[in-house]
Amino acid sequence: MDPLPHPSGARPPDIPADLVPVHVALVMDGNGRWAKARGLPRTEGHKQGEFSLFDIVDGCLELGVKCLSVYAFSTENWKRSPDEVRFLMGFNRNVLRRRRDELNARGVRMRWSGRRPRLWRSVISELETAERMTRHNTKMTLNMCVNYGGRAEIVDAAAALARDVRDGRVNADRITEAVFARYLDEPDLPDVDLFVRSSGEQRTSNFLPWQSVYAEMVFLDTLFPDFDRRHLWHACEVYASRDRRYGGAVPNPVPETT
């Protein structure tokens, strides 16, 4: 099943395939402010954000982005009001149930990053069902980060690695970055190339810090319910224009002396 075209008829930009980011991380920010500006409860912003997310998935498929990680619910979001937390838990569960057949038909593989403790069993069940259903798909990967926190992921990885060192399965003197990375939530996903945040805020907010160490950052002012694939494409154009050196540098030309 091909991705749905954008209602405006917009087509993806002509970015060379080798300059399209492989892995995009997306912080979907601004739902509450969007709703407040319209005199609506915060939950209405989250509902509208669903359409933005799935338009962006179609935009990734059109452009050739292979992996999209989205910040659906953070470990810090438990601090919100009980009513909003309950809504978000049920909303994430229902979106997974409602959209998984559509994503499967498009060839999207679904993954989950995040902690199990505190997360509703029904949400875990839907995440695991979506993972099983789509495990053979290869068009792109949608990594749903639910009850996710970057520091929590690193702490959990360190604890698991420490247990393996204690039990003799890993030699502490041979731990490298590559060894440590195998203990992260989704170790087979590539590092993040492009980190995008909507709403104008310019923070990473504890999202994929290990994976984003060399990501290009693009912060856009648009609130997430007004965000769609055209904003993603713009961020990818910005990414394609940047010079990524990974700590290396080309020597400056020095004029010859006579």
Mean pLDDT of the chain: 95
Three-state DSSP class for 57? helix
In the structure encoding, which two tokens stand for residue 13, read together? 């930009």
CA dist 148 and 129 (Å) reads 19
Q: Which of 108-112, 219-223, 242-246 has the lowest mean pLDDT?
A: 242-246
- Which position has the higher pLDDT, 249 or 152? 152
Q: What is the band of 247 on the pLDDT scale with cuts at 50, 70, 90? A: confident
In the structure encoding, which two tokens stand for residue 166, read together? 């204690």
Instruction: For residue 29, indicate whether it is catalytic.
Output: yes
pLDDT tens per residue across span 113-149: 999 999 999 999 999 999 999 999 999 999 999 999 9
Q: What size, in residues, is the chain?
A: 258
Average pLDDT, integer, range 221-234: 98
Active-site position among 14, 29, 94, 101: 29
CA dist 189 and 115 (Å) reads 17
Please report the pLDDT score of residue 145 as a whole number. Answer: 97
Cα radius of gyration rounded to whole Å, the chain: 20
CA dist 216 and 213 (Å) reads 9
Instruction: Say yes or no to pLDDT of 258 above 70.
Output: no
Instruction: Say yes or no to pLDDT of 251 above 80.
Output: no
Active-site position among 2, 14, 77, 185: 77
The b-or-e profile of 11-41 (16+ CB within 10 A means b, else e) is ebeebeeeebbebbbbbbbbbbbbbeeeeee
CA dist 192 and 27 (Å) reads 13
CA dist 170 and 24 (Å) reads 32
**Residues whose CB falls within 8 Å of the CB of residue 8, separated by 6 or more in sequence, listed in order:** 230
CA angle centred on 136, ends 135 and 137, rounded to 5°: 95
- Taking residue 245's Cβ as centre, other Cβ atoms within 10 Å add up to 9
The b-or-e profile of 226-241 (16+ CB within 10 A means b, else e) is ebbbbbbbebbeebbe
Instruction: For residue 101, indicate whether it is catalytic.
Output: no
